[in-house]
Structure 1
């Protein structure tokens, strides 16, 4: 499990491109027959990718968490981003995930494992975990059952649908919130004008992108912005003090996940276009 430490916005002003990418970008989560995890000191969020081909991959605490099992003091959300069907087995009970389906697994489950229904068409499972203090029921939700919010317009190149999976009005959790945003064809912008939520951090996974497509992800304080050029299936950590917005060379999909002090999806501080520099 890789560790990423928290940063100070005053220090980030001095970072060059390489340092910004090293601190905030996660490039290679999804590898065949591997489960890769990154532990962020921003609200103790863990992100991961599992690509079970011929093997079953187990979610384990390892040496870092200092617990008997991964979910001893944690909860986790899992979304399949591939066409191949994924199987998440929780203490012996199996949940099948088609593309864009989600399963939430609560505190206290000792065994979580990942496999693919067809090894010739493997699943690609995105994993996000936050600390937890109470057990909520394990629950699967298909994208068709998720709460859709239609936002933006073609004229502003940001027509998109936001699907909420794990949140106060959907699957209950302690602090993890998780969902997915799909941009309509010929639309490229997300979350612009941007916002801040100083009470929680956020992570974005950009996917459903062609090999030559890119997303330019904007971050930093509103008056001291920076950017990260991102490829398909890469993750970016957004600190509580940072904006988080992006524009692509084509339309794309991204999974957002949040954790921290507040459990209110609409708790955000808007940033006007005049403030951006």
Structure 2
């Protein structure tokens, strides 16, 4: 079950955290993995992990997903695409009146336009094939209010809506589209985020953020990757136009 043998999978932001976990797992399950990552060193680390664990085929491409010209060039080089995982994204702290125009635009360009650029490049290929799977990485911030996350929530709300739109528009072409909405997941990104914004209070903030999930901890990248594998596999062939919170009870149980 859950074999991706013979599938060509494009994973954006595959150099670390959730993206790396998805890349490694998809390779293990037989997919030819194409990692799109701005940080070439991080992408190389993911490739090394893939090659160290299994006899798999994986390629990395240095690309800024917010730049459509770069994205189209890379996708043309990749050629056939069976699976697209729109995972690349950045975070931001701020309310509506404390978020600068520059920061708002940056979040939009990476999180929203970046996903659009990859959809724009891959959907014609999937339509030609008569089949395909798109998985977008949304967030609980798309569904519930999160303090001081105005721009980030905006971007993930857009991802949630884009998921439904793509699922509806390309159903007749044999293309499925779903999203995952994680709560806080313990990645190097989170550690760097805490260090940057809460210097000297790292342990306190980490504990606080961990306990904000009713289950009492942050998620692990592998747990998100497992859901991604299911949704991108043939076993999920009857599933489209849905969002799946992987949130330790955050949305429903955080009373």
Q: Same fold (TM over 0.5)?
A: no
Query: Relative to total residues, which structure has the larger strand share, 1 or 2?
Result: 1
Q: Could you say which structure has the greater relative contact order, defined with CA pairs below 8 angstroms and 6 or more residues apart?
A: 2
What's the TM-score bracket when you normalise by the shorter of the two chains?
0.3 to 0.5
